[in-house]
Chain A
Amino acid sequence: MIGLALLLGAALGYAALKFKVEGDPLIARIDAILPQTQCGQCGFPGCKPYATAIAEGRADINQCPPGGDAGVRALADLMGMEYKPLNAENGVEKPKAVAFIDEPVCIGCTLCIQACPVDAILGAAKHMHTIITSECTGCELCVAPCPVDCITMVPIAETPDNWKWRYPVIPIKPTFTL
């Protein structure tokens, strides 16, 4: 009996070492669902802090407008929670957009550069700034600080590149109904 206990104990101990999990995978898994816009609309200074807050139960799952409805559903799934619609206080789901700097108006103040959470704005003091479109997450954080209002959010247009096939809509048409 003691032998068995020792054996099982050893097996468990080995398993604990072998399958040791580094860090808190839950935060990483939540973070993987979040869109990484880093916009702060959730009330936290970025996606990771929000993920941490969800994991610790300090935040709800419906505070991320860029993640949208699908994001809330994915989070509800992961957390084993009931789905709930987006909290309107945090904002509404919008089509994805990128920032655009009206370059002739830009005064080169670097305020937007400091605001950008992903370093997607290129420029130096007193030099025109420009957005690296491919890296812009559309967080809108650069819009407010601009003292001359030269930054606008431009929705991403549909091109043959990003165009998607539509869900087929073929209704079952009655020839006539009784």
Chain B
Amino acid sequence: MNALVNFTGLLKKTGIFKFNGGVHPPENKAQSTQLPIGQLALPEKIVLPLRQHVGNIPKIKVAVGEQVLKGQLIAEAEGAVSAAIHATTSGTVSAIEDAIIPHPSGLPDRCITIKPDGKDEWIEKKPQDWKSTDRKSVVASLRLSGIVGLGGATFPTHIKLRSDGKSGVHTLIINAAECEPYITCDDLLMRERADEIVKGIEIAQYLLGAERVLIGIEDNKREAAASMRAATANTTMQVIVVPTLYPSGDARRLVHLVLGTEIPHDKRTTEMGLQVFNVATVLALYRYFEHGEPSINRIVSMTGNVNKPQNFEVLFGTPLQHLVAAAGGAKAETTHYIMGGPMMGFDLPSENVPITKAANCVIAASPTLFEPPPPAMPCIRCARCADACPVNLQPQELYWFAKADNFEKANDYKLFDCIECGACSYVCPSNIPLVQYYRYAKSEIIAIDKAHEAANLARERNDFRLARIEREKLERAQKHAERAAAQKEEAAKKASENLNNDALEPNIHAGSGNVVLDAATAKKAAIAAAIERAKAAKAAAAQTGDAPKNVVVSDENVKKEIAEIDARRQSVGLEKLPVDAGIDKEKQAKIAAAIERAKAAKAAAEAAKQIEKNS
């Protein structure tokens, strides 16, 4: 075992603490490390999906036709867990529409398309003096950086750094294990830009207030380890070379490897005083603070069945074909592309998808590289999967439960601790696609939970509504009774004042009854009239397509109705239409105000709910 420990200065002793299982898949890393990191020409279009990170979809801040500059914020983080998106080159926003994104579902999602103007002109860069500004505002500004975990998890980085000082993070672990076959982007980054990485680490260390920094590198990356050692020579950072064993790059596995700390399943690393960052992520931090550059590109390994496998520095939104072409084009036999490594990656739906923040590697697949799996045989309970599982699960049991839709049992056997690393499928003699079953079971369980939550909400709202109706009924009855009592009293008073007018009392009652009756009839009539008008409008719309306002309407009421509808539409910003009938400006303002109020009320309710949930 190359359980080498690198001592620098007067540091605490560390060792290698093995986890259960793990596998040694063929590395296939040499192919893409022959050439240095390459640069790409500007692509013809940039397609930026809004969904590039874990959390909420960011809010679009640009409109179609707008000119944008490189590094300009085009979508801002929405809610707590979210990340911003920036234009990755200068040009014109040519579309905001659904397009195919790199996602296992192969479904389209909202994207911002930019037509580059070729100038690649930067927005004014604002480097920050992070050392002399207070931590809180530095971390707050990170929300605008768009930086997410570039190891593949794409968790927004500003959240990991948010709880400054208070979190008590004592150890920062830099994940440079890069354990999955084929992927070499972190390897190349460390070979070529170790100094910048170290500066990035310093920033992260400062923001977290961590005393100790450990850099975990697998022993198959000698060059990278050497260059990181050289770069950290004058620091207190420790480079720890861990034995090559998949999946040592999984955060919890790596923490265990270098510290022997097992992070409890229900706790985050931060709660244990630890934080894990990928090398590419800390480099992005450096670029953001020292150069004022937001997250607009990353290193991608383009490898597999291409003529010249290489790592490239790729702008987010670059179409995959562009990258494939730069790597000398795909060789014959290429059937499709895989994003990520061969253990955890997924098939890309087309060659047209954009490179996103999660894309650490793209592999051109061919039947020779990845043989189609032989047909699955029944599980013979050989428990090789259990021996290989880095989480020490019992994959063969989970398989039975997932296969039989026995989700409760699957949960009991800790299905959600599965990291989907694929080690179990890798060693299965029966070729059972175990991870597929786990993914299926997990997404079913999540869907069931969501449905349950929705049902609970519906139940709550229904109960509330029933209670409200009941209350209103009571209130109405009470009012009625009060009014009746008041009238009676009045009548009694009157009667006592004028004994001669005895007969008036019943009349009053009859009168009030009539009023109610009249109101009801009037309402009915109004509704009927409205229905007629709407029908007419609908018929008109049917005749002329969707432009009811062009119809010549003789009825004054209908005109008024249309005007009102237009007013409403305008006030909510749906369309800006020329209005041919006079609009009551005051009313419009009122409506707008009402909508604002409703929005505010909803937001307040939302916030209250959030607070309730958090508490």
A interface residues (Cβ-Cβ under 8 A, vs B): 31, 34-38, 46-48, 103-105, 107-109, 117-120, 122, 124, 126-128, 135, 137, 147-150, 158-160, 162-168, 170-173
Contacts and interface: CB of A to CB of B under 8 A. Distances in A.
B440 A166 contact: yes
B507 to A, nearest CB: 32
B101 interface: yes
A105 B540 CA distance: 11
A104 B105 contact: no
Interface string B407-446: 0000000000000000000000000110011011011100
Given A164-B443, A164-B444, A119 B105 contact: no
B530 A163 contact: no
B521 to A, nearest CB: 16
A108 B373 CA distance: 60
B598 to A, nearest CB: 7
Given A109-B530, A166-B440, A47 B105 contact: no
Interface residues of B, number: 51
B607 to A, nearest CB: 16
A149 B531 CA distance: 10
B534 A107 contact: yes
Contacts of A170: 373, 375-376, 432-433
Contacts of A173: 375
Interface string B83-125: 0000000000000000001011101010000000000000000
Given A105-B537, A172-B375, A36 B51 contact: no
Contacts of B101: 160
Contact of A122 (B373, B439, B569, B598): B598
A65 to B, nearest CB: 15
Contact of A147 (B376, B444, B458, B531): B531
Contacts of B604: none
Given A135-B461, A167-B440, A160 B103 contact: yes
A127 B591 contact: yes
Contact of B376 (A137, A164, A172): A172
Interface of B: 51, 101, 103-105, 107, 109, 373, 375-377, 432-433, 436-437, 439-440, 442-444, 447, 451, 454-459, 461-462, 464-466, 527, 530-531, 533-535, 537-538, 541, 548, 561, 564-565, 568-569, 591, 594, 598
A173 B373 CA distance: 11
B462 A159 contact: no
A117 B458 CA distance: 9
Contacts of A117: 462, 465
A43 B615 CA distance: 39
6 contacts: A118-B465, A160-B101, A163-B104, A164-B443, A165-B104, A165-B436
A143 to B, nearest CB: 16
B610 to A, nearest CB: 14
Nearest to B447: A164
A107 B535 CA distance: 10
Contact of A172 (B377, B437, B439, B457): B377
Nearest to B109: A160
A46 B440 CA distance: 32
B565 A165 contact: no
A168 B459 contact: no
A124 B453 CA distance: 28
B530 A118 contact: no
- Which of B465, B548, B569 is most buried by chain A, counting CB atoms within 10 A of its CB? B465
B601 to A, nearest CB: 10
Given A36-B458, A135-B457, A166-B440, 9 more contacts: A109-B531, A118-B457, A118-B458, A137-B454, A147-B530, A148-B534, A148-B538, A159-B107, A163-B104
Contact of B531 (A120, A128, A135, A148): A148
A36 B455 contact: yes
Contact of B458 (A37, A108, A162): A37
B548 A104 contact: yes
B563 to A, nearest CB: 13
B447 A171 contact: no
Contacts of A160: 51, 101, 103, 105, 107, 109
Nearest to A136: B458
Contacts of B433: 168, 170
A120 B461 contact: yes
Contact of A158 (B107, B466, B537, B561): B107
B438 to A, nearest CB: 9
B79 to A, nearest CB: 14
B105 A158 contact: yes
Nearest to B443: A164
A164 to B, nearest CB: 4
Given A118-B458, A164-B443, A107 B109 contact: no
Contacts of A36: 454-456, 458-459, 462
A107 B533 contact: yes
A104 B569 contact: yes
A170 B569 CA distance: 52
Contacts of B564: 126
Given A165-B439, A167-B440, A118 B531 contact: no
Nearest to B548: A104
B440 A148 contact: no
Nearest to B457: A135
Contact of B534 (A147, A162, A167): A147
A122 B548 CA distance: 24
A54 to B, nearest CB: 16
Given A104-B548, A147-B527, A127 B458 contact: no
Contacts of B454: 36, 137
